[in-house]
């Protein structure tokens, strides 16, 4: 609680200090109503560039722009009180240089009110992470399957099997040493995620990784069953809200066709009760 008695948002150092303690609860959010729903339960709320696929119908995250991230970040900010808000840096907004990354991260923070940004990449991004953190920009890193590199990977494949496991270990160590306060491990083998969690000093947040990670994250639309038939192995459906919504819409359509909606209680008379001399209470 703050001095005024109101809820105070968690900070990147507080998240970092949760290493090895109670698991971090993380979900995505892209709108104010969803942010309000997840805030009481989450430590971290990520405005992910997955918004491009989930809400905008894009085939990948590559078409997401900085302006899109700012718009959704502003919406989520209005719905949060407690959770740490992190905003993804979209493809093309940070890879060119550390200076480019700083300009765009500073804009994200200034225009959305987020407390941290997330960027993808391991050893190749360590210098950028070091540059940003030295200038007051907290960074959450992301290694393993990095969706912005989907074309380079040849699809959304598990990363870190066989000889590739050492690359993922080096990536995780590099971002931790560069100053990231936490790192997302996406779609890597369970034993590898467990080992990385033991080896590095910052919290690991798993998605398709291991229960041994210091926290877990899912796309909220996936776990609520809102996103069609998309059912990756690492997602547990905690509800089937898409089916419920579809059934409700079908019922509405039927009632309109049958002229059962709107009913008398949903329409207005030609004059208010008070004008007709009737009691209004």
In the annotated binding site, the residues are 49-50, 88, 118, 120
- Specify the residue for token string 């019922």: 251
Q: Is 186 a catalytic residue?
A: yes
For the annotated binding site for Mg(2+), the residues are 49, 88, 120
Strands, E assignment, 145-260: 182-186, 204-207, 215-218
Residue 276, SS3 per DSSP: coil
Structure tokens at 191: 């034993």
Type and span of the H or E element at 106: helix 98-112
Choosing from 96, 186, 265, 278, the catalytic residue is 186
DSSP string, 233-253: TT---S--HHHHHHHHHHHHH
Binding-site residue ranges for 3-methyl-2-oxobutanoate: 49-50, 88, 118
The answer for 53, left when phi > 0, alpha when psi is -120 to 50, beta otherwise, is alpha
- What are the residue numbers of the active site? 186
């Amino acid at each position: 609680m703050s001095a005024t008695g109101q809820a105070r948002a968690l900070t990147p150092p507080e998240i970092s200090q949760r290493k090895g303690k109670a698991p971090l609860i993380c979900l995505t959010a892209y709108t104010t109503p969803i942010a309000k729903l997840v805030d009481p339960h989450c430590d971290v709320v990520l405005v992910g560039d997955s918004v491009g696929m989930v809400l905008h119908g894009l085939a990948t995250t590559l078409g997401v722009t900085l302006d899109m991230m700012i718009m959704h970040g502003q919406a989520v900010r209005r719905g949060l009180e407690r959770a740490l808000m992190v905003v993804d840096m979209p493809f093309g907004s940070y890879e060119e240089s550390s200076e480019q990354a700083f300009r765009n991260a500073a804009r994200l923070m200034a225009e959305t009110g987020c407390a941290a940004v997330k960027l993808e990449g391991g050893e190749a991004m360590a210098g950028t992470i070091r540059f940003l953190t030295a200038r007051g920009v907290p960074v959450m890193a992301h290694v393993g399957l990095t969706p912005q590199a989907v074309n380079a990977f040849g699809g959304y494949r598990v990363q870190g099997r066989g000889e590739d496991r050492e690359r993922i270990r080096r990536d995780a160590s590099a971002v931790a040493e560069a100053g990231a306060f936490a790192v997302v491990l996406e779609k890597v083998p369970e034993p590898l995620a467990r080992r990385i969690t033991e080896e590095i000093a910052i919290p690991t947040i798993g998605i398709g990784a291991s229960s041994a990670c210091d926290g877990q994250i899912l796309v909220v639309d996936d776990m609520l069953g809102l996103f069609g038939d998309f059912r990756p192995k690492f997602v547990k459906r905690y509800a089937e809200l898409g089916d419920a919504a579809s059934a409700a819409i079908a019922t509405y359509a039927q009632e309109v066709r049958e002229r059962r909606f709107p009913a008398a209680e949903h329409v207005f008379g030609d004059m208010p009760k008070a004008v007709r001399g009737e009691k209004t209470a």
